Amino acid sequence: MAATHHFDANKLFNFEGFTCVVTGGGTGIGLMASQALAANGAKVYITGRRTEALEKAAKSHDPDKGGKIIPIGPCDVRKKEDLERTVKELESKEKYINLLICNAGVPGPKAEPEHDDAGDLKAKLWENESVEDWNETFSADVTSVYFTTVAFLPLLQAAVQPKGPLPRFAASVITISSMSGLMRHAQGHFSYNAAKGATVHLTKLMSAEFQRAWIRVNSIAPGYFPSEMTAKSSDDNQKSALPAEKVQEKGHVPAMRGGRDEEMGMTVLYLAKNEYVNGQIIAVDGGVLNSVAGA
């Protein structure tokens, strides 16, 4: 039984000794997750395609004490050879990892289904999207999540007893899906929303199949958070801004603002530490799914 002092937040969310990997960790949600983990003692390896972005993020946001943010790569998660190279590099540095966050992704093409006339509707969608666009979106947002997770399975299992120091289900994967994969509103992003819906289901499949290796898999489904995907750019510290007015214009966000970095960080820490949570999709969306029809 737990005594009251066991519920101290500093103990519940102490990540000293944790080793984590975050894909797409140089900006946006990936960087928020990395900051939250490192601030609480974790060693966090961030990877992505842009070495400069990774190095800037690590330099700007490495904590003064406790954990550390370390760039590694570059790595294009759509390429198995890049994933294998990154895993081998990590194996030369670490005996195991406790947490993998699959965050890297792309927004895909946009074409608003705004016409009532079927001919006009076809023209808008047909001319503004391509099979290649769809394939690229699924490759980055679904296929890469699967192969990234598979690539790191041995390093994750190495953290688990009897050979590793941690109890069963202490090692885990967090996929970053989206509220867009849980709604019927296309938002003009058919390929992205369909891909994120696939990521949601992939998460459930992996959680059920990989629990035999004592590895948990959960997903965070974010709403509007400041990132290069929503704000189109980052500043010199690899951070993006999302003014509340821009979110309010959408008309379906009860919170009337975008999510805060700290709110994403809280969710990451919870899923990473709670060993009794497996196969869950947690929407952090400011109440959007209360306003928009669900899938």
E-only strand ranges, the chain? 19-23, 43-47, 68-71, 99-102, 171-176, 215-222, 281-284
- Give the pair of three-digit tokens for residue 232: 């189109």
147, 191 contact by CB (below 8 A): no
State residue 72 phi and psi, 5-degree precision.
-145, 145
CA dist 167 and 6 (Å) reads 18
Closest CA to 206 of 140, 268, 294, 147: 147
Task: List the one residue out of 18, 44, 42, 26 whose CA is nearest residue 104.
Answer: 26
Give catalytic residue positions.
177, 192, 196
